Structure 1
Amino acid sequence: MLPHFVCIVLSFVTAWPATARDLVGRASIVDGDTLDIHGTRIRLWGIDAPESAQLCRGRKPYRCGALAANTLDAFARGKVISCMPVDGDRYGRIVARCAAGAVDLGRFMVSRGLAIEEPQYSHGAYASDQLAARRAGRGIWSGRFVEPPLYRSCMHAGGTTMLCSDGEMRSR
């Protein structure tokens, strides 16, 4: 029994470093909550950023999804990003907590008002960051926006970027 157990443990120990090594490196930013490291698509755990084409309303409409992606790209550029897998999603991406040094990328995005927390997954890990961003009117909290899942649903139903970004009933 013991040799069998040792073999199982050794197989996990030898397999894990290869996986972990694959999730450390320079990242290519896909959008405000998704990145690629060594060809592996990774979704940031616990947050949801506006879609790349999504518009938000401040004094005038602006591409809040593009702003989120560009801000994450500027922050991550040239840094080594390390990700710890938490789960997978229905699109085959790894869901992970990722950091650049000591900076949690999910917290970075939520605290700047460039993503919302998904409390059903994060269990409130970023709640205080979101509250501070909201109170300070940072990012999407400076005006009106449609929550990213509602925007995506509208687009999948055949809506346009303008229509789906401007839903009075669905906006915050």
Structure 2
Amino acid sequence: MKLTHARILSIGLFGWLVGVAPTAAADVQVIDGGSLVLNGRTVRLWGIEAPPATEVCVTTSGRSWPCGQRAHAELRSALQDGVVVCQPKAPGFEVCRIAGLDVGALLVKEGLAKARDDYRELEARARQARVGLWE
């Protein structure tokens, strides 16, 4: 995802206004599909339960697939080449966005994480579409 200079500036200003420092993707390490290290501190994504990086899932047809690796790769891909802004939501959990996109919601929508709290409707749609964990 490529961001224009104006978009990066607006994200930076948003982060400054709400007291959240924007972080370049190069300064972010993905631990698994639901957590990352941001400026040296571990951040767990709000509203999701992603499979551990080593988890293998089985589809309803019996096919195995590396769901944990896919969730990890999707989060890493979403965070590339951009500015990450994370904002605390609850103790130990943060909502992280890149270019305004909530990456936790993205993982649930793609069927790569289960919903907690705010994302239940997105999970229901993923289940209905039989994508990812619901395949």
TM-score w.r.t. the length of structure 1 is 0.62
Contact 1:110/1:133 (<8 A) preserved? yes
Partner of 2:7: none
Q: Which has the higher strand share?
A: 2
Partner of 1:134: 127
Contact 1:107/1:126 (<8 A) preserved? yes
For structure 2, list consecutive stretches of 5 or more residues without a partner in the other structure: 1-17
What do residues 109-130 of structure 1 show as CA deviations (whole Å, max 9, x unaligned)?
A: 0000000012xxx2xx212211
Partner of 2:4: none
Partner of 1:28: 29
1:113 is matched with which residue: 107, 111, 114? Answer: 111
Q: What percent identity do the matched residue pairs reach?
A: 28
Partner of 2:40: 39
Contact 1:25/1:37 (<8 A) preserved? no
Partner of 1:71: 74
| Cα drift, residue 87 of structure 1 | 2.6
Give the paired residue count. 114
Matched, 1:85 2:84: no
For residue 108 of structure 2, give the secondary structure of its aligned residue in structure 1. helix
What do residues 2-59 of structure 1 show as CA deviations (whole Å, max 9, x unaligned)?
A: xxxxxxxxxxxxxx84xx22x6332221100101111111000010001111110124
Partner of 1:149: none
Q: CA RMSD in A?
A: 1.5
Query: Which protein has greater RCO, CA pairs closer than 8 Å, 6+ apart?
Result: 2
For structure 1, list consecutive stretches of 5 or more residues without a partner in the other structure: 1-15, 90-94, 143-172
Contact 2:78/2:103 (<8 A) preserved? no
Contact 2:84/2:98 (<8 A) preserved? yes
Runs of 4+ more than 4 Å apart: none
The whole-number CA distance in structure 2 between the counterparts of 1:39 and 1:88 is 18
| Cα drift, residue 133 of structure 1 | 0.5
Q: Which amino acid aligns with 1:110?
A: V
For residue 53 of structure 2, give the secondary structure of its aligned residue in structure 1. coil
The whole-number CA distance in structure 2 between the counterparts of 1:78 and 1:36 is 16
